């Protein structure tokens, strides 16, 4: 069974910088996994932030950036705002079976 | 603007079959994959499967194989997710989402709460 692992929780101060990561049990995450990132606030549907490793959607603030960091996909938030407090999920495309797998999510607290 | 509007909340008995709809507007329906995602109470997102509305091809996560059926009616730009043999652990919010210009699950529906209880 393929498992995608994220930090369960992270805390960051307002104005600070934090990096969330996304690892695959199958090995290194590369751009061929087309990593995507999603934000979900309580009671709301997820919202897409980043696709294909580093591309922002038109609605994604510039303080969100995606990258590959070592053997993981990463989401970096720079100049964190209080409204960035949310759950963040990565999604990897394995191309075959399983086709897509979400990470377990990271609960980001802004404190 | 791309919009996905899902059908309303449902209460089902164990063993029953669930069918949720997802109407998509704002882009060419057949051009983009449609995903379905399960989120149990207090839990993370779980990818269930995807549908290519152009040819009806489906890919299901192993966990849902045999119980899950995804279809689409291209005449009304609506996708459907059918889950049979419902159990209490199928109690969840179910989301549809659509790809868009190379981005996986770029747009999401509002979610449909399903409660399975005797």
A9-45 pLDDT per residue, tens:
999 999 999 999 999 999 999 999 999 999 999 999 9
Residues 6+ apart with CB under 8 A from B98: B2, B4, B24, B27, B32, B33, B34, B35, B105, B106, B107
- Band of residue B101 on the pLDDT scale cut at 50, 70, 90: confident
Beta strands in A46-85 (DSSP E): 47-51, 55-56, 64-69, 72-78
Tell me the pLDDT of chain A averaged across its residues.
Answer: 96
Q: Which residues of B touch A (CB under 8 A)?
A: 35, 37, 44-47, 49-50, 59, 61-62, 95, 97, 102-111
A48–B46 CB contact, under 8 Å: no
Give the model confidence (pLDDT) of B7-65 as tens digits: 999 999 999 999 999 999 998 899 999 999 999 999 999 999 999 999 999 999 999 99
Q: Which residues of A touch B106 (CB under 8 A)?
A: 48, 51, 57
Give the model confidence (pLDDT) of B52-95 as tens digits: 999 999 999 999 999 999 999 999 999 999 999 999 999 999 99
pLDDT at A69 over 70: yes
Share of chain A above pLDDT 70, in %: 98
Residues 4-33 of A with CB under 8 A from B: none
Residue A3 burial (C-beta neighbours within 10 Å; 0-12, 13-18, 19+): exposed
- Band of residue A97 on the pLDDT scale cut at 50, 70, 90: low
Task: Among A34, A45, A105, select the one facing B44 at the smallest CB separation.
Answer: A105
Task: Among B62, B110, B111, select the one facing A98 at the smallest CB separation.
Answer: B62
CA dist B3 → A12, B11, B23 (Å): 33, 25, 8
- Band of residue A98 on the pLDDT scale cut at 50, 70, 90: low
Q: What are phi and psi of A82, to 5 degrees?
A: -55, -35
Angle at A23 between CA A21 and CA A24, to 5 degrees: 160
Two structure tokens written together for A111:
């404190």
Select the residue from B105, B107, B110, B111 to test the A interface by mutation, using most A Cβ atoms within 10 A: B105
Residues 6+ apart with CB under 8 A from B74: B29, B30, B53
**Distance to chain A for B97, nearest Cα, Å:** 10
pLDDT at B102: 87
């Amino acid at each position: 069974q393929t498992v995608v692992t994220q930090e369960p929780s992270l805390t960051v101060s307002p104005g600070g910088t934090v990096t969330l990561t996304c690892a695959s049990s199958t090995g290194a995450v590369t751009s061929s996994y087309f990593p995507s990132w999603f934000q979900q606030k309580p009671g709301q549907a997820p919202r897409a932030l980043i696709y294909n490793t580093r591309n922002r959607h038109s609605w994604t603030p510039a303080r969100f950036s995606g990258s590959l960091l070592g053997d993981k996909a990463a989401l970096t938030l720079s100049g964190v705002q209080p409204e960035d407090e949310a759950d963040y999920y990565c999604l990897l495309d394995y191309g075959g079976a399983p086709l897509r797998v979400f990470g377990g999510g990271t609960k980001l607290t802004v404190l | 603007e791309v919009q996905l509007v899902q059908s309303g909340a449902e209460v089902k008995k164990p063993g029953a079959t669930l069918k949720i709809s997802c109407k998509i507007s704002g882009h060419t329906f057949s051009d983009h994959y449609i995903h379905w995602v399960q989120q149990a109470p207090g839990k993370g997102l779980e990818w269930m499967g995807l549908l290519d509305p152009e040819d009806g091809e489906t890919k299901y996560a192993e966990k849902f194989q045999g119980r899950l059926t995804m279809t689409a009616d291209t005449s009304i730009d609506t996708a459907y997710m059918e889950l049979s043999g419902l159990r209490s652990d199928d109690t969840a919010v179910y989301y549809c989402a659509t790809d868009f210009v190379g981005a996986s699950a770029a747009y999401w529906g509002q979610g449909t709460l399903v409660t399975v209880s005797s």
